């Protein structure tokens, strides 16, 4: 059987700030039998511009994304960010609805998956060979993963495949961490208070790590943790699934 051909989309903040998470995803997909490709022309999905109200500029970025990821010889497009996948699935539908590229967008959009849903819903994996992390973790349901992509149980099933890992659910796990992109800039006091609540709920479980599908959330929580010297760390689920290799 031919290996699935996967074009990966690496969000700009992962590319610039957390490149190891991108490499973790590549290692994971290749270990699970995928042919992984990276188009070096890729940039951003346009979400920052879209959230800030710059519709024209966002359309230009979306057009470029469509050009970069419309290869007919790829089977899937996978990203380690439900936030970006939610943007492509939902906002792009509005952006392209009056465009001559709408049909082309729909063809591309059907191939787009967040990493954990690709693993559980497309590859249907039941184990992650070699994954080992002897630690207690708690899982944060990122807003985009939960509300825009319907991702809930899949990441938890994947964490259950990691040898030595104990998952402890925190209170209000579905509550926003306070990042929200431009929200954290415009309403910084509220954003920090929401991060504090999330971190305190995580600490109450006795967990050593907060794990999520979205580095944007984890970046926000990590900043609060470091600024306040809290005894907990953050880790993207792609990094968790490649621990012990």
Q: At what angle are helices 55-68 and 102-109 packed, to 10 degrees? A: 60
The Cα 155–Cα 3 span in angstroms is 23
The Cα 83–Cα 181 span in angstroms is 10
Residue 75 · residue 43 · CB < 8 Å: no
Residue 5 · residue 76 · CB < 8 Å: yes
If one counts every other C-beta atom within 10 angstroms of the C-beta of residue 131, the result is 21
The Cα 11–Cα 104 span in angstroms is 22
The Cα 238–Cα 243 span in angstroms is 9
Alpha-carbon dihedral angle through residues 228, 170, 48, 44, given to the nearest 10 degrees: 110
* 206 Cβ neighbours under 8 A, 6+ residues apart: 136, 168
DSSP letters for 107-139: HHHTTEEEHHHIIIIIS--S--TT-B--SEEEE
| pLDDT (tens digit per residue) in 2-54 | 899 999 999 998 999 999 999 999 999 999 999 999 999 999 999 989 988 89
The Cα 136–Cα 128 span in angstroms is 18
| pLDDT (tens digit per residue) in 171-190 | 999 999 887 767 766 778 88
* 153 Cβ neighbours under 8 A, 6+ residues apart: none
Predicted pLDDT of residue 1: 65
Residue 37 · residue 26 · CB < 8 Å: no
Report, as an integer, the average pLDDT of 199-203: 97
Predicted pLDDT of residue 108: 96
Backbone angles phi, psi at 197, to 5 degrees: -60, -40
Predicted pLDDT of residue 77: 98
Predicted pLDDT of residue 179: 78
Predicted pLDDT of residue 31: 96
pLDDT class for 123, splitting at 50, 70, 90? very high
Residue 208 · residue 240 · CB < 8 Å: no
| pLDDT (tens digit per residue) in 43-89 | 999 998 998 889 889 999 999 999 999 988 999 999 999 999 999 99
Instruction: Print burial letters for 21-35: b (CB count within 10 Å at least 16), e (below 16).
Output: bbebbbebbeebebe
Residue showing tokens 């022309």: 41
Report, as an integer, the average pLDDT of 195-215: 97
List, in sequence order, every beta strand (DSSP E) within the chain.
Answer: 5-8, 35-37, 76-79, 112-114, 136-139, 166-167, 209-212, 233-236
């Amino acid at each position: 059987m031919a290996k699935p051909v996967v074009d990966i989309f690496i969000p700009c903040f992962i590319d610039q700030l957390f490149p190891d998470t991108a490499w973790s995803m590549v290692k994971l997909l290749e270990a699970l039998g995928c042919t992984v490709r990276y188009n070096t022309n890729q940039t951003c999905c346009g979400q920052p511009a879209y959230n800030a109200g710059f519709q024209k500029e966002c359309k230009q970025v979306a057009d470029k994304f469509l050009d970069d990821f419309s290869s007919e010889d790829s089977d899937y497009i996978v990203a380690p960010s439900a936030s970006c996948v939610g943007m492509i699935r939902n906002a792009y539908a509005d952006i392209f609805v009056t465009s001559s590229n709408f049909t082309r967008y729909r063809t591309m959009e059907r191939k787009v998956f967040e990493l954990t849903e690709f693993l559980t819903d497309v590859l249907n994996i039941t184990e992650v060979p070699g994954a080992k992390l002897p630690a207690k973790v708690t899982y944060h349901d990122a807003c985009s993963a939960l509300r825009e992509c319907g991702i809930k149980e899949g990441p938890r099933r994947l964490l259950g495949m990691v040898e030595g890992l104990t998952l402890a659910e925190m209170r209000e796990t579905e509550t926003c961490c306070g990042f929200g992109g431009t929200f954290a800039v415009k309403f910084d006091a509220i954003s920090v208070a929401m991060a504090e609540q999330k971190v305190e709920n995580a600490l109450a479980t006795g967990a050593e790590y907060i794990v999520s599908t979205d580095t944007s959330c984890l970046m926000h929580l990590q900043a609060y943790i470091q600024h306040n010297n809290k005894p907990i760390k953050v880790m993207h689920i792609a990094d968790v699934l490649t621990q012990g290799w």
